[in-house]
């Protein structure tokens, strides 16, 4: 199959609509990462997403809708706080999980009685959704477990020959996946942190909790149990307090002949001397925007990437460090 990358314009949007209506897949830009979309009402089309990505069949898909779409045809029991959150933050990088009406096809919810709904703010995503006039099920447009794509080129690198069309909308400005918020209870619960932070949600909803999975308990957001976002090279992860051990590890790897680099925020990059470093930026927002692009650049040339994580987990740092830790193997090392 020939995979075309096209600027998002009338010609490509018409093509995208035809592909979606015929049960095919189209990759499209959003403000977080690129999505791999299918008609959320078409079971065969949604199954293709799982096949092409190699996605585990118990990991549900987020349904993307146009800002004017009436979601009461898809979900029920929308709490009052969710209406206020919608007014405050949508369109934007906030996905809300509601009780399903069973309208979307079974492959979307993977056996859960809920559906995750997202209204992306990227103007090209809005144009696409307006054109197709359908709810679009879309996970991130990467091979399962690989780093999420923040450009059309990243999508092509993973899916060349496997999907017919990538709508190009430039580089994503958000850079990490949307916040996933469970809105089925009295108090909203963050299942996956992102750029709409727990603090921002609590400000509008009055309260907001963060879900921490407990061993043996039913998983509430299946996607969070999988290892994710991994570059195709070796990784290691150190806390900022163990910087000396991280530096010793780097030096030992380099002495063995490995092409190695740190990855960290600017505050840590300043402390590693002349060693190679992928500096993701000064702030959590900058870090989120740069992390996946730098991981994809790094994996092409490096044998090993060593992450150094700062201690703070407030606001956007919660989402950034969740992705950062997973990308670097998820387990902190303490000594060399």
Whichever of 32 and 197 has its CB closer to ligand AMP, that residue is 32
Question: What number of chain residues touch ligand AMP (CB under 6 A)?
Answer: 20
Sheet containing strand 234-239, edge to edge, reads 234-239, 304-309, 260-264, 277-279
Interhelix angle 284-301/316-327, nearest 10 degrees: 10
Q: How far is the CB of 145 from ligand AMP (least distance, A)?
A: 10
Confirm if 36 and 27 have CB atoms less than 8 A apart.
yes
36 binds ligand AMP (CB under 6 A): no
The three-point CA angle 127-133-137 to 5° equals: 85
180 binds ligand AMP (CB under 6 A): yes
**Residues 234, 238, 240, 244: is their CA dihedral positive or negative?**
negative
The binder of 260, among ligand AMP, Mg ion, none, by C-beta within 5 to 8 A per type, is: none
Judged by DSSP in three states, 311 sits in coil
Element (H, E) at 243: helix 243-255
Which residue among 177, 242, 268, 285 contacts ligand AMP (CB under 6 A)? 177
User: Interacting stretch for ligand AMP, rule CB under 6 A, among 57-65, 265-273, 276-284, 323-331?
Assistant: 57-65
189 binds ligand AMP (CB under 6 A): no
* Residue 274: how many other CB atoms lie within 10 Å: 5
97 binds ligand AMP (CB under 6 A): yes
231 binds ligand AMP (CB under 6 A): no
Scanning residues 119 to 158, which ones bind ligand AMP (CB under 6 A)?
A: 139-140
Q: Which DSSP string corresponds to 201-233?
A: HHHHHS--EE----TTSPPSSGGGGS--SB-SS
* Residue 210: how many other CB atoms lie within 10 Å: 13
222 binds ligand AMP (CB under 6 A): yes
| β-bridge partners, 5 | 166
In angstroms, rounded to a whole number, what is the distance separating the alpha carbons of residues 275 and 260? 9
In angstroms, rounded to a whole number, what is the distance separating the alpha carbons of residues 78 and 182? 11
Instruction: Map tokens 């992102």 to a residue.
Output: 194
Whichever of 85 and 97 has its CB closer to ligand AMP, that residue is 97
Q: How far is the CB of 108 from ligand AMP (least distance, A)?
A: 8
Whichever of 198 and 249 has its CB closer to ligand AMP, that residue is 198
Residues that bind Mg ion (CB under 5 A): 139-140
Which residue among 13, 62, 317, 320 contacts ligand AMP (CB under 6 A)? 62
User: Interacting stretch for ligand AMP, rule CB under 6 A, among 59-67, 75-83, 210-218, 287-295?
Assistant: 59-67
321 binds ligand AMP (CB under 6 A): no
Scanning residues 237 to 296, which ones bind ligand AMP (CB under 6 A)?
A: none
Whichever of 95 and 140 has its CB closer to Mg ion, that residue is 140
Whichever of 221 and 261 has its CB closer to ligand AMP, that residue is 221
Element (H, E) at 129: helix 123-132
Spell out the residues 6+ positions from residue 296 whose beta carbon is closer than 8 angstroms to its own: 147, 154, 157, 231
Q: How far is the CB of 139 from Mg ion (least distance, A)?
A: 5
223 binds ligand AMP (CB under 6 A): yes
- Which residues of this protein are in contact with ligand AMP, per CB under 6 A? 59-60, 62, 97, 109, 112, 114-116, 139-140, 177, 180, 191-192, 220-224
């Amino acid at each position: 199959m020939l995979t075309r990358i096209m600027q998002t314009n009338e010609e490509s949007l018409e093509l995208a609509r035809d592909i979606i209506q015929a049960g095919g897949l189209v990759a499209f830009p959003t403000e977080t990462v690129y999505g791999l979309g299918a008609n959320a009402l078409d079971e065969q089309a949604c199954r293709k997403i799982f096949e092409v990505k190699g996605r585990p069949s118990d990991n549900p898909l987020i349904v993307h809708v146009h800002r004017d779409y009436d979601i009461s045809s898809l979900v029920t029991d929308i709490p009052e706080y969710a209406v206020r959150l919608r007014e405050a933050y949508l369109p934007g990088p906030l996905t809300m999980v509601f009780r399903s009406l069973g309208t979307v096809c079974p492959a979307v919810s993977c056996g859960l009685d809920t559906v995750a709904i997202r209204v992306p703010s990227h103007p090209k995503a809005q144009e696409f959704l307006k054109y197709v006039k359908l709810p679009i099920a879309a996970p991130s447009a990467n091979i399962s477990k690989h780093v999420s794509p923040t450009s059309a080129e990243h999508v092509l690198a993973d899916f060349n020959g496997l999907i017919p069309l990538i709508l190009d909308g430039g580089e994503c400005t958000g850079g990490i996946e949307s916040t996933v918020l469970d809105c089925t209870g009295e108090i909203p619960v963050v299942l996956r942190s992102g750029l709409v932070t727990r603090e921002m949600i609590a400000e509008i909803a009055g309260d907001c909790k963060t879900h921490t999975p407990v061993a043996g308990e039913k998983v509430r957001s299946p996607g969070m149990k999988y290892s994710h976002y991994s570059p195709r090279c070796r990784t290691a992860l150190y806390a900022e307090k163990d910087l000396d051990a991280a530096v010793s590890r780097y030096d030992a790897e380099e002495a063995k002949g490995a092409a190695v680099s740190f990855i960290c925020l600017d505050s840590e990059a300043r402390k590693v001397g002349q060693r190679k470093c992928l500096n993701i930026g000064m702030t959590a927002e900058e870090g989120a925007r740069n992390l996946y692009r730098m991981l994809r650049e790094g994996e092409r040339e490096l044998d090993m990437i060593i992450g150094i994580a700062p201690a703070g987990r407030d606001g956007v740092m919660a989402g950034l460090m969740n992705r950062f830790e997973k990308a670097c193997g998820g387990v902190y090392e303490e000594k060399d």
